[in-house]
Every structure is written in structure tokens, then in C-alpha cells.
Amino acid sequence: MARFRIWSNTAEYLSLSAIDRPVLADLYRYWRDLSVNGVPPRQKDLALHDMPDCLSNIALIDVARPTREDKDLPPGFPLRARYLLVGEALTRLLGENPTGMLINEVYSRDVAQEVGGALFKSMDTQRPLYYRREFQILRKSFGYDRLILPMRLQASEVRRILLAIFPLDKKLVSADQWRGELEKFEAMQEMETRMSAAWAESLGYAASPEEDLGPETAAHGSAQGHEMDASNYFDLPARGRSSD
């Protein structure tokens, strides 16, 4: 087993008072001030010109509980969620424009379940959610803040989600950047696996996954983070996206 890993540190559903990025804090307060007695505002109550600093990093998502007619959803998927619009900066980070697509058509299965679960939680509780995720790839740190704001149309149920995603590193602006790091990571994995096999062969035995886990790997596997597959990085579409 290769020693090169992507390690993630996830802080899910943080207190909204923990939002330390001014643009997200302003967006949350704008949404909160339009809410009445804890009831989410209607989509038409919000105006894009009132959130100019967020426009490029937001997405509008139509959400609904699944019905028997939803044949294009995986079994047990919590909701039907379709992108209605996606800002330019977010599109560059995704590497493609998912407008018009269901989230289970955009992401791998595991990522779609996480994203769908977060959207469903916000829709079901009618509460905003704030989430931070950080990663380390080859000693480089990446990550993002995610704010999920539920909205109504006319009735009392939530039918729209305003999603805002901002990278922790302001220099990270495109999918090519984090995919470039993944390519380096995958190349290092391949090289390490090949050299480990040759090393083991020179000693007359096959490499064992348990033997290959050294102190360096153990040091990274703390309670603060966990190992993750490359396809789950950034909760964004990866090349060779698969639904299985």
C-alpha cells in the first residue's frame, strides 16, 4: 500500500457564529435578516444586486423530496437536487458547468451522498448550514468554506438552496490547479508502488500492505483527519467521474 495519501480534516455543520470569512458572514446576515420567526425567506425576497461579492461563487439549486417517478435517482437518495445556475468562479473550480444537471449526475456516488445529505438536512430543518473542509496533498494544503441557505418559493416548504463555496486559498481559482496537484500525487503513488514492488522482489518476497505502513503514515492518521480517495477531493467533479 502506498504511503502517499490525501488527508482531510472536516468540520461539519459549524456554528454560524464561526463564519470568519466576511463575504460569507455578510451573505448569511443578509439571508437571516430576510427570515421571519425562523422561517426561511422566499427566493424572490433576495436580490442578486444585494450580494455582489458572492455572485461568482454561488449556485442556485432546486430541491424536492423524491417521488416514485424519479427513476434517475439512485436508490435511497435523499432528495432531487438540480443546479439552476452556477457562478463563474465556482464553474472554474468545478472544471465544468453543471447547470441543468442533478447532483447525482455531477458527482461520484460517495460525494453525491455527502452533498445530497447536506442539502437535505438544510431543506428538511429549514436551517442554514456552514461547513469547512481542509486537505493536504503532498504537504500542500487546500480547502473550502461552504454555506447552505434554504429558501422557499410561495408555500412553506423549502424548494431552493443558495449554495456558496469559497476556497480557503484565494490563489486557488481553477480545477486545473487542484487537478495538477492530484496528477503529481497520482504519479508519486505510482512511483512508490512500483519501487516498493521492486524493493520487495530484490529481497525475495512480495510487499505486504501492513509492512508498507511506516511511521510517516501513522503520524498523519490522527483524530484531526482521515485518509480519502482522490476522487473525493474538494467534493467537486473529478476526471473519469463515475456513478458507481
Report yes or no on 215 lying in a domain. no
Euclidean distance between CA atoms 9 and 203, whole angstroms: 37
pLDDT tens digits, one per residue of 132-181? 887 766 566 678 899 999 999 988 999 999 999 998 888 777 877 766 66
Number of domains in the chain: 1
Euclidean distance between CA atoms 84 and 98, whole angstroms: 9
Q: Indicate the pTM of the whole model.
A: 0.73
For 196-231, b where at least 16 C-beta lie within 10 A, e where not — what string? beeeeeeeeeebeeeebeeeebeeeeeeebeebebb
Percentage of residues of the chain with pLDDT beyond 70 = 72
Question: Averaged over 68-97, what is the pLDDT?
Answer: 90
Q: 67: pLDDT confidence band, cut at 50, 70 and 90?
A: confident
Q: What is the mean pLDDT of the chain?
A: 79
CB atoms within 10 A of CB 56: 15
Is 241's pLDDT higher than 80?
A: no
User: Which residue segment(s) compose the domain that 42 sits in?
Assistant: 6-175+231-235
Between these two residues, 185 and 208, which has the higher pLDDT value?
Answer: 185
pLDDT at 29: 96
Q: 127: pLDDT confidence band, cut at 50, 70 and 90?
A: very high
Report yes or no on 16 lying in a domain. yes
DSSP annotation of 75 reads T
Report yes or no on 214 lying in a domain. no
Report yes or no on 220 lying in a domain. no
Report yes or no on 197 lying in a domain. no
Report yes or no on 204 lying in a domain. no
Q: What is the CATH number of the domain that holds 80?
A: 3.30.450.20
pLDDT at 165: 94
Report yes or no on 206 lying in a domain. no
pLDDT tens digits, one per residue of 11-61? 667 789 889 899 999 999 999 999 999 899 999 999 999 999 999 999 999
For CA atoms 230, 233, 239, 244, the dihedral sign is positive
Report yes or no on 196 lying in a domain. no
pLDDT at 208: 55
